[in-house]
Amino acid sequence: MFLINCPYCGERDQQEFKAGGEAHIERPKQPTELSDDEWAEYLFMRKNIKGVQFERWNHAHGCRKWFNMARDTSNDEIKAIYKMGEKPPTQ
């Protein structure tokens, strides 16, 4: 349980948000040409990082907008919040 600074609404309780899992997984451009292995990679395989991970969140009980977050999963500390379409922070 932590506070999340929604880029549209400001700081709110995490309870208002829905976690959307790993970010920056690109949908295949040509799905019909994908092999089974590539589908499995896209659909199921996850980095599941212990440490700083980039992930999607949705302000489900607020503005209902999606955004990205860099969060340390070992202690739940939020490192950065950035909008959809923006590049993940480097450091």
Partner 1 sequence: MRNKYSIFSLFKNALSYHENWQRAWKDPAPKKEYDAVIVGGGGHGLATAYYLAKKHNMQNIAVVEKGWIGGGNTGRNTTIIRSNYLWDASAGLYDHALKIWEGLSQELNYNVMFSQRGVMNLAHNLQDVRDLKRRTHANRLNGIDAVYLNTEEVKKFCPIINTSQDIRYPVLGGTLQRRAGTARHDAVAWGYARGADEMGVDIIQNCEVKSIKRSGDTVEGIETTKGFIKTKKIGVVAAGHSSVVANMAGLKLPLESKPLQALVSEPVKPIIDTVVMSNAVHAYVSQSDKGELVIGAGTDDYISYSQKGSHQIIEGTLNAILELYPIFSRMRMLRQWGGIVDICPDASPILSKTSIKGLYFNCGWGTGGFKATPGSGDLFAHTIANDEPHKLNAAFNLNRFVSGDLVDEHGAAAVAH
Interaction site with partner 1 (CB under 8 A): 1, 14-15, 18-19, 21-22, 36-37, 39-41, 43-50, 53, 55, 71, 73-76
Please identify, using beta-carbon distances, which residue of 60 and 63 lies nearer to partner 1: 60
Q: CA of 19: how far to CAs of 30, 56, 60, 80, in Å?
A: 27, 6, 9, 15
φ/ψ (deg, to 5) at 33? -100, 5
Please identify, using beta-carbon distances, which residue of 49 and 81 lies nearer to partner 1: 49
Check if the beta carbon of residue 52 is closer than 8 Å to that of residue 42.
no
Q: How far is the CB of 42 from partner 1 (least distance, A)?
A: 11
Q: What is the DSSP letter of 41?
A: H
Q: How far is the CB of 9 from partner 1 (least distance, A)?
A: 18
Check if the beta carbon of residue 67 is closer than 8 Å to that of residue 78.
no
Q: How far is the CB of 73 from partner 1 (least distance, A)?
A: 5
Q: How far is the CB of 47 from partner 1 (least distance, A)?
A: 7
